[in-house]
Amino acid sequence: MKRLLLLCCLFCCGLAHAQTRFYYKDSLYADHYAPQGRPNGISVMFIHGGGFSSGNPANQKPFAEGMSKRGYNVFVISYRLYMKGRTYNCSTVTHEKLKAFEVAAEDGTDAAKFILDRADSLQVDPQKFFLAGSSAGAEAALQMLYNPFSAAGKGRYAYFAQQPRFAGALLFAGALVDINAMRPDNWVPMFLMHGTKDATVPYGTSAHHSCKADAPGWLILFGSKTLYEKGKEWNKPVVLYSYKDRQHEVANYMFREFDKMDKFMRDVAGKKKIGAKEEVITK
């Protein structure tokens, strides 16, 4: 019995040391993983995937712990799952798909503002604060950065319109709803990973879930390759890893590509000139 109590104590103490939780709005929360060892001064806010219907911050623990061991200050947020209990495919009407994007972007924006407003107590350097997301979370992050919904929520988004709030973004199999919202003057350095055969979230410019034009849920999205080409055209900092013939599993590569993520964030935080770079990975 004493041994069991000791093990429980050690486990709880270890968990408390690595992770805490705070609520940023109503029942929505962020799991905070403080840097382990020597902090590098860089913070990351991560938005999980799950088709806007499932997923939770706990599933992102391998990413958060992996980055915190490298000295990163990591926040993994929850957000309203607008499509929970419903399908999210070609039969989902387009306006509901767009609403899911909008709701997630709203919550991500509120979470980021909450963190930045408490930068001192949370040990966040606002000049080294990165945004990251996977699949639906990457889509939410992109809408936050290049917001097509800003006219409908000027009060919420005014804080982000005044000046850039993110040093850069790491996006795993994400896409943008409106390419016209992206301009040279609002560009954010981007780290992109995407499978070239992704049939869920397009690698280039194509329909969401590969829907046909007569489907109720037909929606054109602008994926990583298209975003990269814009950055290249404008001579902006953007790094694209194209995984040849891979599908949507690349959305989970934040669990394995720690060296690549680390290099990008350190380069950007260190003001190193990056330019536009693409690497095609064939194995």
What is the model's pLDDT at position 152?
74
Length of the chain counted residue by residue: 283
The rounded percent of the chain whose pLDDT value lies above 70 is 94
Beta strand pairing call for 43-47 and 129-134: parallel
Name the residue with tokens 């055209």. 233
pLDDT at 162 over 80: no
Q: Are 246 and 210 in contact (CB under 8 A)?
A: no
As a whole number, the mean pLDDT across the chain is: 92
Burial of 266 per CB tally in 10 Å (0-12, 13-18, 19+) = middle
What gap in Å lies between CA 98 and CA 56, rounded to an integer? 21
Burial of 216 per CB tally in 10 Å (0-12, 13-18, 19+) = middle
pLDDT at 119 over 50: yes
Name the band, by pLDDT with cuts 50, 70 and 90, for residue 159: confident
Return the structure tokens found at 27: 């029942």
pLDDT at 108 over 60: yes
* Model pLDDT for residues 195-240, shown as the tens digit of each residue: 999 999 999 999 999 999 999 999 999 999 999 999 999 999 999 9
**pLDDT (average), residues 49-66:** 96
The domain spans of the chain are: 19-281
pLDDT at 12 over 70: no
Low-confidence winner among 62-71, 160-169, 239-248, 259-268 (lowest mean pLDDT)? 160-169
* Model pLDDT for residues 122-146, shown as the tens digit of each residue: 999 999 999 999 999 999 999 999 9
Residue 51 or residue 11, greater confidence: 51
pLDDT at 283 over 90: no
Beta partners for residue 223, in sequence order? 175
pLDDT at 3 over 50: no
CATH number of 19-281: 3.40.50.1820
What is the model's pLDDT at position 6?
36
What gap in Å lies between CA 169 and CA 182, rounded to an integer? 14
What is the model's pLDDT at position 128?
98
Name the band, by pLDDT with cuts 50, 70 and 90, for residue 18: low
**pLDDT (average), residues 113-124:** 97
* Model pLDDT for residues 248-276, shown as the tens digit of each residue: 999 999 999 999 999 999 999 999 999 99
pTM for this entry: 0.91
